Chains A and B, each alone.
Chain A
């Protein structure tokens, strides 16, 4: 419920952008926004004025449909502008329903089809290790995405190569449970040989603590954070599966959403 929600302003910004664009996945962005905000504010070394900076850390949004959360953070860090947000999904804009990394400064991967970003992140982490560079690689996957076989291929390969400079975050927002449940996520990843952590993905303290704890280092277990989240977190009537997945709020609904986020 709204009482324990932080990042209300970012949520409002997401809703405003999607309302304006007429397209988007609000609940999928709401489940990850608290984590993505923490990454861009406190974890990732990035420079909005120099998107291809060699020393940057890499964030790959493997569940591309959560891109509204990425876009508002890229705007906050100066990669893109408010005007870009307002042109989302318009023919003259650079932002769409899934990110196109060839057009969006700061977006590290073009994702949308699930089970791709995780493998690209794996190769990137390997490449940085070959170069003996310390840049972090963090990829955010969905629990629904975890139905894809490639996610588990990556699980095997990441552990076998000991890519300790790589961290996956699984947005465990209950989507898979509606489709093909992926139970005991933490145990599964541990059994694959990853250093697994479970957190409440909407708790500022737990998010901070886990990133304090994790050490990015070469030749160590890769890390995975199971972030237990709520799809639509922050707006009571969106905290359900189904009707709001890709729904765009009308003016009346927008007013109610803003009230809840006040």
Chain B
């Protein structure tokens, strides 16, 4: 399943034709998908090699030369392997650039932990001048990329293979703004990126036990704290569901944003602080980790109601 990788290639192709300052560097991934870009934007597409830290440093050099670089590969090779290059070559020196992953936290389920990245938001969040987005549908990726690719920040796009089925229009997608999917009064469910799908699937059963407000977050940093606070003031109960480590994800920022709202009860579904040693499919990993309808119902009943 290609997921958003086809969309990513198409958007870059369009942007590349519009903007001669867009340059794409990949670490031998999506090479064939990006051939239309390569053909129509000569001299601005490079399959550099299997040397991600150097790709990131080079991207900073391109930014220094006035380009808007896009680096694309699997998230652990961007975030974990090349963290210091993002930190020092981009953030410290105040260069802007774009990092677009192939996949979410454990989309490469069958390939094992070397290709997983559970803490990307947590560690990138610590760096000044980073913007973190998690577009889990075509329109989100397209709009968020268009809105941010040429600014002076480092923008990290966690582009999953498994999106959600909620339909948004272009106008719904505003960088830094969460989206209220449904009004409710008993509790707030905050779905981040791909896990909106699980929440949508859980709606009929959730409805049986509570009138839930559903918020969707595509921009992880900066978090739309106003939207979160507004909802939690009303419901006083909150469940965050995110394909991220229990450390450093959106849940942490929700707690920070709402720290002065007394009496609120919280729960979250996240990736435990363990490596997922099992292989299998994305869906199997989700079931195992509680990213499921049963997982949501269980959390609501046991911890929030």
Contacts and interface: CB of A to CB of B under 8 A. Distances in A.
A126 B25 CA distance: 12
B61 interface: yes
Interface string A210-246: 0000000000000000000000000000000000000
B89 A157 contact: no
B54 A119 contact: yes
Nearest to A149: B53
A121 interface: yes
Interface string A140-156: 00000000001001101
Interface residues of B, number: 29
Interface stretch (B40-48, B158-166, B176-184): B40-48
Interface string A113-154: 101101111111111101100000000000000000010011
A35 interface: no
Interface in A75-117: 101-102, 108-110, 112-113, 115-116
Chain A interface extent, by class: 20 to 34
Interface in B78-121: 84-85, 88-89, 92-94
A120 B43 CA distance: 18
B59 interface: yes
A126 B46 CA distance: 10
A127 B64 CA distance: 8
Contact of B54 (A101, A130, A131, A153): A153
B64 A120 contact: yes
Contact of B61 (A115, A123, A131): A123
Given A127-B64, A127-B67, A119 B93 contact: no
B93 A130 contact: no
A119 B60 CA distance: 9
A113 B64 contact: no
B48 A157 contact: yes
Given A120-B58, A150-B53, A131 B65 contact: yes
A127 B84 CA distance: 22
Contacts of A150: 51, 53-54, 57
Given A122-B54, A123-B64, A128-B65, A101 B48 contact: no
A112 B88 CA distance: 9
Nearest to A154: B54
Nearest to B57: A119
A109 B85 contact: no
A161 interface: yes
Contacts of B56: 119
A122 B62 CA distance: 9
B105 to A, nearest CB: 27
A207 B44 CA distance: 35
B61 A121 contact: yes
Kindly name the residue among B54, B56, B93 whose own CB sees the greatest number of chain A CB atoms within 10 A: B54
Contacts of A160: 49
Interface of B: 23, 43-44, 46, 48-49, 51, 53-54, 56-67, 69, 84-85, 88-89, 92-94
12 contacts: A118-B57, A119-B53, A119-B57, A119-B58, A123-B58, A123-B59, A123-B62, A123-B64, A126-B46, A127-B23, A128-B65, A153-B49
Interface of A: 101-102, 108-110, 112-113, 115-116, 118-128, 130-131, 150, 153-154, 156-157, 160-161
